[in-house]
Structures are given as structure tokens and as C-alpha cells.
Amino acid sequence: MKSKIGLVVGGSGSLGSQVVSVFKRNGWKILNIDVNQNDKADVNIQLSKEKKIQDQISLIHETTKSFSTNFDSIICTAGGFDMGSIREATLFEKYERLDKMNAQSALLAGHLAAHYLGEQGFICLTGAASVFEGPTNYAFAYGITKSATHALALHLSERTDIPASSTVCTILPTMIDNEANRQAMPNDDKSSWLPPEKIAELLKAWAEGENRPQNGSFAKLSYKNQCVIPEFL
């Protein structure tokens, strides 16, 4: 059987590295785009944190194109979180950082999909349940930049620039069980936190066409009975 071909934006993060591992275990060829390398990926495009994406886009296109021009799936797992109100002094620094992590990463995934996604391709972006369900004034820059991701998904799912047979889906995780969240909330009950590996297994199934949601879906992810449950909003 021919290997399926995937691109992960943010494939070195807590969710992304699990996506790379699960997809690799299932025989996929994976290109990872991130500021850090992931040795499990077949090829890495290591972005510079200091440079703008527009100053690295030629290199990104070159390496992506030589990896494949017919991806089965493009997944963006990049993202960042930070607390802080609209009032606080570091608002604009936070906005710049989170815009790059949340909105521009999704923009990159969509841009590459417009060039290299194949027929019946699967695009998955990572939004946030908390933002989708209501204002998050305690994390203002996070809320605005994740809202931009959601708007991007709505635009992309019109499929004006990607194959008409492709599917755009946005996952809206509740709390993910990763190191950063464990350190930030050491005393919380973690039994309902989403294990990244199990999210990755769900995405693998959807990417392979099993039980794939319809185009334009927003899937809130919860964790119950040791199972990741998607709820479509």
C-alpha cells in the first residue's frame, strides 16, 4: 500500500509531536514545520522564531514542494496560551506572540493547503472551546487570536482555493493534559483532561477517512470514560 502523506504545522509541540508519532506508527510520511525539529518526522522545516513567516516562505515552499505536491492531510497543531486582560501593559507583546502561534500558523497551513492538498484531502486546524463558547477577557490576546483561527476555518471551508472534495475541520479542545497545563494547575483534577495521544488517534482516523466529520465542522473535544468525544457546534 502506498504511504499516505501528511504535513503537520507545529509537529514538535505537546499535541503535534503525538500527531507525528501516531501518524508515523500508521505508515504515513510526515513533513513537520515548527521552530524545533522532531526526529520522528521524515523531514523537518525548522522555522526561525526571530524571523517573520514572509521572510521564510520561499524556503517553506521549496521544501514542501519537494516533499509532496499531493498531501492527504494538513494539520495545524501549533498554538499558544497566555493570561492577561486588555488593560495590561504587555498586551501588544502578547498579541504579537499569540497571533504568530495561533493565527499565522493556521494561515500557513491554509496557504500550503491551497497549493499542495490533494483530492479528498483533510485539513484540521486547532481552535479553542473556551473562546468559541464565549468571550475570554481573562486571556484577551488569546481570545482574539483564536477567534481569528475560527474565522480562518470558516473562510477556508468555502473551498475556493482548495479541492472541492476536501474537508476542513477545526478541533476545539477543552483542557489538554500537557506539561504546561500540569505546571499551571498542579492541584486540578486531571481525569477530564485530554491526552494528546488520544486526540492524535482521532485525527489519524479522520485523516484516513474513517468517520470523518463533514466539511466546515467545529468539533469540541471532551474526555470521558478514557475516550475523546467530539461534539459538533
When binding is defined by CB under 8 A, the residue of 2, 39, 50, 92 that contacts a copy of itself is 92
d(CA 169, CA 233) in angstroms, rounded, equals 12
Which span (41-49, 141-149, 169-177, 225-233) binds a copy of itself, by CB under 8 A? 141-149
Site string for a copy of itself, 168-187 (x = CB under 8 A): --------------------
d(CA 81, CA 181) in angstroms, rounded, equals 10
d(CA 194, CA 177) in angstroms, rounded, equals 5
When binding is defined by CB under 8 A, the residue of 53, 82, 195, 208 that contacts a copy of itself is 53
E-only strand ranges, the chain: 5-9, 29-34, 43-46, 71-76, 117-126, 167-173, 217-224, 227-232
When binding is defined by CB under 8 A, the residue of 54, 187, 191, 225 that contacts a copy of itself is 54
When binding is defined by CB under 8 A, the residue of 119, 133, 158, 188 that contacts a copy of itself is 158
d(CA 164, CA 52) in angstroms, rounded, equals 31
C-alpha cell at 68: 509532496
Scan residues 187-216 and list those touching a copy of itself (CB under 8 A).
none
When binding is defined by CB under 8 A, the residue of 3, 69, 70, 137 that contacts a copy of itself is 137
